Structure formats: C-alpha cells, structure tokens
Chain A
Amino acid sequence: MKVTAISIPVRDQEKALKFYTEVLGFIKKRDIPLEGGNRWLTLVSAEWQDGPELLLEPAPLHFEPSRVYQDALMEAGIPYTQFDVTNVEEEYDRLTRQEVEFSVKPTEMGTVKIAVFNDTCGNNIQLVEML
C-alpha cells in the first residue's frame, strides 16, 4: 500500500482551485468531471510533482457530518492538514502580502516552527518548518 492522496474538504471546488494554485502555488494535476458538477480535482506541490496529491473534495456540500466537523475545527482554530516549508517566516510574509489571514503567527514549538492560516474554503492549514 502506498500513500498517494490526502483529502481536503472544500465548500467550493473552483474557488479552492484558485486559492491553492494562484495563492499557495500548487499545480493542478487531475481534473475529472463527475456527476452534478462535482470534480475529482487533485493538485501537486510545485517542488515535488511526483509526491502525494491533494484531493480538493466537495464533501461538506453533500454530507452533513463533514460540514459539521469542518465548522467545529474552524471554530476551534484546529488545522487538520499541514504542509512542510523550508522557512515559515518567508511563507508568512509572502502570504500576508496576498491578504491570507493567519490565526497563528510564526511560533516556535520545540523542534519546529509553525503558523496557521485560513484557506478561505473552510479550513485552517498549518505550515511547519523543522528547526
């Protein structure tokens, strides 16, 4: 078994695609039309294009427990997904210039430095730099 995809629940796939590619810098890999306007939409990291794919899935629109869970995580400030970066401060500067909102500014936490931002699609996302 191999890990090849991780899911991120989003309220609006098109808006998520724009944010994750234009603001964060991911690259679209697969965009397969499904029923009812839903898509099998995956992205890869620009610097690791044969790495795992991020699946932007519209679960909160079609499965209420998913929406409830996503809202509860957002409310509590909890990031369910995290991305590795080489420099959290640089990413923080780059993203705040693009008006991304951070709920946790760059903070040292033992052997890592973390920051948490709102992905505008219903999720808190954590950035992690290993110190």
Chain B
Amino acid sequence: MTFYESEISRIRDLCYANDKHLETVIATRNFIDVHYDQDLNLDLLSHHRLTSKFHLLRLFKRYYGLTPKQYLTDKRIEKAKEQLILGHTVKEACFTVGFESVSSFSTLFKAKTGKSPGEFQKEQFSRRDSDLEL
C-alpha cells in the first residue's frame, strides 16, 4: 500500500465516518441537480430530507465547502451557458434555469463568468463561425 492510499483511508475514517451526514448532503446535492430549475429554498430542501434547515445548511457547507444556495447558483449558471450555446435568448435561458429576473440573472452571470450573457453568446457564435472559415 502506498503512502497516499494509507492517507486516504486514515482521512476517510477521520472526516467521513458519519454515513448519515453523507447520505443527507449527497441526496440534497442530487435533488438540486435534478430540480435546479424550480423555486428551491432551504425550507423545501430540509423538508425533503426531514431535517432542520440550519442543520442542513451547516452540513452541506461542511461537506461541499459551498452553501446549497451557492451550489444552486453555480449549477444554474452552468446550465444557462448550455442554453445560450444552443441559441436560446437571454430571457429564455434565464427562466429555463430557474432565475426569476433577467436583470439579476445578467448581473450574476457577468460576475461569475466575466461576460454578460449576450457577450458570452456572441463569442460562442463567432468562435463557431471562425472555425468554419479558417
């Protein structure tokens, strides 16, 4: 057994011994992955797992390093990119992935990716065109 393998099992025993916790956070993440386009909030997520919302928030952050809200936002931005690449309008992308306001979506998208949704889409299309030309 290598040093790395023995470290993996040592750290797993120390940090990941609580199967119930793991089951809860993994199920929560999977739930977000499937239902990201819906109106998700901590009440709903904790209800789904029959746990208190503060407990769930703490656990999720402890195991994933992000709050459920941060994770959901990242997931929606990733999905919005896919929508834009497929040619959907900014407004369509925004509502399809579960955001409720185009202006807050655009602001958030720019903060996360460095480009507005429109700029992002234009860049994708011009890249595709130039690939064809050259």
A, B in one complex: yes
Q: Give the interface of A toward B (CB within 8 A).
A: 50, 75-79, 103-104, 107, 109-111, 114, 116, 124, 130-131
Q: State which residues 18-35 of B face A: CB under 8 Å.
A: 22, 25-26, 29
| B3 closest partner in A (C-beta) | A76
Q: How far is the CA of A103 from the CA of B15 in the complex (A)?
A: 22
Determine whether the beta carbon of A111 is less than 8 Å from that of B26: yes
8 Å CB contact of A76 from B2, B22, B25: B2
B8: A residues at CB distance < 8 A:
104, 107, 109, 114
B-side interface residues, number (CB < 8 Å): 16
B7 vs chain A, min Cβ distance (A): 8
Determine whether the beta carbon of B15 is less than 8 Å from that of A110: yes
| A111 closest partner in B (C-beta) | B63
A76: B residues at CB distance < 8 A:
2-4
Determine whether the beta carbon of A124 is less than 8 Å from that of B15: no
8 Å CB contact of A103 from B5, B22, B25, B127: B5
By DSSP majority rule, is chain B's interface helix, strand, loop, or mixed? helix
Is B54 interfacial (CB 8 A cutoff)? no
A103: B residues at CB distance < 8 A:
2, 4-5
8 Å CB contact of B22 from A77, A111, A114: A111
Which residue, of B3, B4, B5, B25, has the highest number of chain A Cβ atoms within 10 A? B4
B2: A residues at CB distance < 8 A:
75-78, 103
Determine whether the beta carbon of B16 is less than 8 Å from that of A110: yes
Is B12 interfacial (CB 8 A cutoff)? yes
Q: How far is the CA of A107 from the CA of B8 in the complex (A)?
A: 10
A17 vs chain B, min Cβ distance (A): 22
- Mark each residue of chain B from 87 to 127: 1 if its CB lies under 8 Å from any CB of chain A, else 0: 00000000000000000000000000000000000000001
Q: How far is the CA of A50 from the CA of B115 in the complex (A)?
A: 14
Determine whether the beta carbon of A109 is less than 8 Å from that of B5: no
Q: Can you give 8 A-B contacts (C-beta < 8 A)?
A: A75-B2, A103-B2, A104-B5, A107-B8, A111-B16, A111-B26, A111-B29, A130-B29
| A49 closest partner in B (C-beta) | B127
Q: How far is the CA of A12 from the CA of B12 in the complex (A)?
A: 35
B29: A residues at CB distance < 8 A:
111, 130-131
Determine whether the beta carbon of A77 is less than 8 Å from that of B5: yes
8 Å CB contact of B3 from A50, A78, A130: A78
B107 vs chain A, min Cβ distance (A): 20
19 new A-B pairs (CB below 8 Å) besides A111-B25, A116-B4, A130-B29? Answer: A76-B3, A77-B2, A77-B4, A78-B2, A78-B4, A103-B4, A104-B4, A104-B5, A107-B8, A109-B11, A109-B16, A110-B16, A110-B63, A111-B16, A111-B26, A111-B29, A111-B63, A131-B26, A131-B29
